[in-house]
Structure 1
């Protein structure tokens, strides 16, 4: 009987601690994000140290936009190509989904967590992608601020 109460308590705690994502939270995604780790369904993690590319999101007030891969340069600029993934945000029940479209594929990811500095998505294979807010690099030491 004690075990049943423990399981119920832990389940309630888990559900209560999940972030409720509101439509106004979506604006926080705009900008550069660097992947920190991927958590697999079996609980294993893949940590990322240095990333050669960041994800850049731009979402408008109509919950439509795009995601691009950009490569940070030592002077604080980014190399950007023309390929991008169009994205539309979908609110369904208490969940938020990012629906992606390219000329080659369509897929969805669930937005689990968003804050000014953290971002977590879960895909159909139950992999969680953990991001941190990225800033342009400037290791030249010229004292100038990057844009």
Structure 2
């Protein structure tokens, strides 16, 4: 019986330790993010291996910026095009949202987790997208630094 209460106590402690994202944390979103998995509302997961494209975020100090898809190349560069989504970070009550808009559509995602290495967002369909921070790939080993 003591073990059951111990397990319940530990579970409650972990559930109460949800990360609180502050306005100062928003700068952590800047950079390249690679999707790791999607968790569906029924608990099922879809794992992603190597991705052909990354999401690149650039948010300024006014919490406004862009998100675009970029394709990493083996020499450390990225293929990019002129397509992007405008992004605004919105704080509402205890929640933080990423509000996107393009000339064709508007939508929001709730920002659940944001650290130096992890990004988790929840969309309107109750799908959680889990990303890991990434960067350029450079297999040419030419000694040059990439941006």
User: TM-score with structure 2 length normalisation?
Assistant: 0.90
1:68 counterpart residue number: 68
Report the counterpart of residue 50 of structure 1 in structure 2: 50
Change (3 A) 1:95 1:47: same
Does residue 143 (structure 1) correspond to residue 138 (structure 2)? The answer is no
- Within the alignment, does 1:115 sit opposite 2:115 as a pair? yes
| Change beyond 3 A, Cα 1:11–1:99 | farther
Separation in 1 of the partners of 2:24 and 2:70? Answer: 25
Equivalences for residues 1-147 of structure 1 within 5 A: 13=13, 15-147=15-147
CA RMSD of aligned residues (A): 1.8
Q: Whole-Å Cα distance in 2 between the matches of residues 56 and 96 of structure 1?
A: 19
SS of aligned partner of 2:16: helix
Secondary structure of the equivalent of 2:52? coil
State the 4+ residue runs in structure 1 displaced beyond 3 angstroms.
8-15
Q: Deviation digits for residues 1-28 of structure 1, max 9, x if unmatched? A: xxxx99x968854652211110000000
User: Structure 1's 113 and 59: CA in aligned 2 closer, same or farther, altered over 3 A?
Assistant: same
| CA–CA separation in structure 2 for the residues paired with 1:23 and 1:91 | 8
Distance (whole Å) between structure 2 residues aligned to residue 47 and residue 20 of structure 1: 26
Structure 2 gap segments, 5+ residues each:
none
